[in-house]
Amino acid sequence: MARFSCIFALCCLLTASASNIRIKSLSAARSFPANFGFGASTASYQIEGAWDVDGKGISIWDYLVRTDPNHIADNSNGDIAANSYYNYKRDIEMLKELGATHYRFSISWPRILPLGRSNYVNQRGIDHYNAFIDELIANDIVPFATMYHWDLPQTLSELGGWTNEEIVDWFGDYARILYQNFGDRVKHWLTINEPYIHCNFGYGYGRHAPLIQSPGEGYYECGRHILLANARAYRIYNEDFRNTQNGQVGIVLSSDWAYPASDSADDIQAAEDYLAFHLRLYMDPIFSAQGNYPQTVIDRVQAASTAQGLTASRLRPFTQEQIEYIRGTSDFLALNTYSSKIVYRNSSLTGTFVVPSHNDDAFLDTYMDDSWPASESPWLREHAPGFYNLLVYIKDTYNNPTVYITENGFSSTPGLHDDGRVNYYRNYLSALLDALAEGCDVRGYFAWSLMDNFEWAMGYTQRFGLYQVDMEDPQRTRTPRKSALVYKEIISSRVIDYDYNPDPYDTDGAFTVSASIIMTLGVAVINMVL
């Protein structure tokens, strides 16, 4: 821990002053390897629409937007979203326009199993994803399929969802069906997306579906069962599918980088604890040599539980058998990361929560430097040096695991000139080049997101898309932003050219008009003539 603390002491000197400085290379090699994968990411509920067609069941988000529509910032929903259930061929055209080699998408659990359980499989859902995956393969795009991106079948939520340990079996059955139907073509499986965010907002503070408020108990139970469910899906693949399908299975974890607010011992420890409660809570059980939760988290939650008069820790321990069952159950780390935090600790932070909370257990608070460029999301400011720090930390802490960056992006308002996003991608990809030069085993990068989508409780008030989606157009027309043109150039050249300044309104510099758009225009002209 001494080396770790020294790193944090150094990092506290690199916050505000470094925020707007372009990353400097640690190596003369400033190009991405030829075999480095570039792609984009989406999630089923956020883009698919078609919420009740072809036998799909109701998800927890379908249920939320009907029972509590005011919970969404603009009272919107994902009933249609980007309409990708019907527009998926256009989405794949967009990937080809970018030159992307990979696509991370998610499969809707209730579209495959409308009642949540494996006793009834919806063949129309299977057929849809078969057609979609076939189209990706036909266009030489590698599918990265996420099994679960937060759209739990409502029937399972009514049985307790991720707070019910039976979900480990339910998820295992679901994973087996996915392997059986798609594993001959899908060679990269992502089991569960962002347990910290899903458990924190869904089962901790009730900001996301299923709106459960239990930050000191439900939050931990959710995470515990996600770790066990990931292990179940991984073990099933190992035992029954790996030898014939030759794929890989990994989990999607998320974290920001944490800087101490000062060089005080309290703040340095707080920054360490931030990573322990956000990243290591899920990484240590899978990627560490010993397995299990970080000892600092175990001790802190036990002490807080005892002080609250409880007879057992709110962080229910794993048995030794479960520790061994979970350890090693990810062939790679899928990492979602967006920003950085400055972390502090003082006496005002203790005992402030009436309800037991994992935030209270961690005994810290965070803020961001005002000089870091702001996005449309209050939680997201650009600070690329933190991205580099996080990747190096993961390399040093977990024996340099294989990593795919499966989400990284910047929110904006509608419009094609998105220079904030352009700067973000350039700086973060430059930081990634520095991490590669440092020896980090990062194999691919997926921009979030391919197109504008339903941003959960924020609805359509924040736009993350490389492509703008006209949400007022029944066809949900997609148009490339400036960032799409810049990303295309980076993918093509494998270098970052800060001087490249395309105009998204310049048709000579934009993408070639796709076949589907030509067809649409042709039909319109014919109708006008007739």
Classify residue 382: in a domain, yes or no: yes
pLDDT value of residue 348: 74
Classify residue 206: in a domain, yes or no: yes
Classify residue 38: in a domain, yes or no: yes
pLDDT value of residue 350: 65
**Distance separating alpha carbons of residues 119 and 113, to the nearest angstrom:** 8
Classify residue 304: in a domain, yes or no: no
Classify residue 321: in a domain, yes or no: no
Q: Which domain holds residue 422?
A: 2-267+330-346+364-529
> Which residues, in sequence order, are bridge partners of residue 144?
104, 188
Give the C-alpha distances (Å, rounded to integers) separating 289 from 171, 237, 486: 26, 22, 41
pLDDT value of residue 2: 46
**Distance separating alpha carbons of residues 89 and 100, to the nearest angstrom:** 15
pLDDT value of residue 349: 75
The pair of structure tokens assigned to 74 is 């603009």
**Distance separating alpha carbons of residues 187 and 306, to the nearest angstrom:** 46
pLDDT value of residue 18: 38
Classify residue 308: in a domain, yes or no: no
Classify residue 63: in a domain, yes or no: yes
Angle ∠(129,111,213) on CA atoms, nearest 5: 130
Classify residue 8: in a domain, yes or no: yes
**Distance separating alpha carbons of residues 449 and 94, to the nearest angstrom:** 12
Q: Which of 302, 402, 358 has the alpha carbon at shortest distance from 37?
A: 402
In contact, 446 and 405? CB cutoff 8 Å: yes
- Which residues are part of the catalytic machinery? 194, 407
In this prediction the pTM is: 0.92
Total domains present in the chain: 1
Q: Which of 331, 324, 326 has the alpha carbon at shortest distance from 245?
A: 331
Divide the 530 residues of the chain into consecutive groups of 10 and give the mean pLDDT of each group: 48 40 44 98 98 98 98 98 98 98 99 98 98 98 99 98 98 99 99 98 98 98 99 99 98 98 97 98 98 98 95 98 98 98 86 75 96 98 98 98 99 98 98 98 98 98 98 98 98 97 80 42 39
**Helix pair 419-437, 482-493: axis angle to 10 deg:** 20
CATH of the domain at 46: 3.20.20.80
